[in-house]
Amino acid sequence: MNLENELERDFKEIIDYPETRLLTVGSQYWRNLLENHPIIDVTDDHFFTEHGIVTDNYQVNMETTLYIHHITHRRDDLRSIIFDKHKGILLCKYTTTNFVNRLINEKILTFVAMRAIGSLVEKKQALPYTCGMYQLFPDSGPSKRDASWTAGHHLANISDVENGTDLFFNNGLRIRVQSKYSQFLKQLNLAHVFTDIQVSLASKIAAELGFENPTPQFRYHDAILSLVQNRRDTYVDKIDFIKEVKHLLAIYTLKGYSVESPDDSIIKKTCSWAHTNRGIMRY
């Protein structure tokens, strides 16, 4: 099978997944675009000049943002490329770090909590951000530089290709990124571990406060689930000894994973003012 036929087959397969049919507001836009461009290479400047829309007015939305690409070589004051289910391909002058920071600043769980969880797995750089059913993780590299960010909850599959990785999203979009497959899979696995730890914390806290064990809202596409490693048991004992982290995550875990959530007054009694003032959570 030649490359063209293989790409056409892959495109049809991803479109035909029952969970990933193009049913969003921008479905016709993506269908028309992807029929002519089944793979979008993030290094193809000509493509983005032709199809990207320059905008300064964009807010990352976990429901619709698929991928945030850092433009390595600054051009025309543009610093990032955004792939959005509803709004298409956007070219922005703000850095990817700016977009991610603005998003996290609106969430109940801050990035300090990610560093606390990272300490459990002895990871300090390139940390993912996981919250409830959402997951956003960076490519390789130190956290001090701008990175490209993938919305893991929108991923349907990934594929190893020469000099990069192909990302299949659940609206049919296929992007070719420069990250090595092994490195990208490493970051995907780390994000899964973070989510898994939070599920464990949610279960423990719910049990302590007399609630039923929460049902995780986060769900990978089956193809992705087969790639990530379930290592929850590795950290159960460590979690027991880190009471501070456990209580700091109380509000988030119960509201994010428990069908039956206590009211805020009960949860606040679980978290001391000292924990709150550390900046890991917001009320």
In the block, residue with structure tokens 């507001």 = 25
Look at strands 174-177 and 40-41 and give their pairing. parallel
**Residue 197 pLDDT:** 82
User: How confident is the prediction along the chain (283 residues), in pLDDT tens digits per residue?
Assistant: 555 555 455 444 444 443 343 334 466 778 888 888 889 999 898 899 888 989 888 889 998 999 999 988 766 789 999 999 888 899 999 999 999 988 888 776 778 778 888 888 888 889 999 887 789 999 976 555 789 999 999 999 999 998 899 999 988 899 999 999 999 999 999 999 888 888 777 777 667 666 666 666 667 778 888 888 766 666 666 665 555 556 556 555 555 554 555 555 555 555 544 344 455 555 4
Q: Tokens standing for 257?
A: 């994973």
- Pure H helices in 209-272: 222-225, 236-241, 243-248, 250-257, 264-270
CB 189 within 8 A of CB 226: no
Among the listed residues 171, 162, 168, 167, the one whose alpha carbon sits nearest the alpha carbon of residue 184: 167
CB 72 within 8 A of CB 179: no
Sheet holding 155-161, edge to edge: 40-41, 174-177, 164-169, 155-161
Q: Count helices and strands (H / E) in the chain.
A: 12, 11
**Residue 28 pLDDT:** 73
Sort 237 into a burial class: Cβ within 10 Å, 0-12 / 13-18 / 19+. exposed
Identify the three-state secondary structure at position 81.
strand
- Using alpha carbons only, what angle is made at residue 132 by residues 130 and 135, rounded to the nearest 5 degrees? 35
CA atoms within 13 A on the CB side of 213: 5
- List CB contacts of 50: < 8 A, sequence separation 6 or more: none
Distance from C-alpha of 237 to C-alpha of 272, rounded to nearest angstrom: 23
**Residue 110 pLDDT:** 77
For the residues of 164-216, what is the DSSP string, one character each? EEEEEETTS-EEEESS-HHHHHHHHHHHHHHHHHHHHHHHHHHHHTT-PPPPP
Distance from C-alpha of 56 to C-alpha of 58, rounded to nearest angstrom: 6
The pTM of the full predicted model, rounded to 2 decimals, is: 0.80
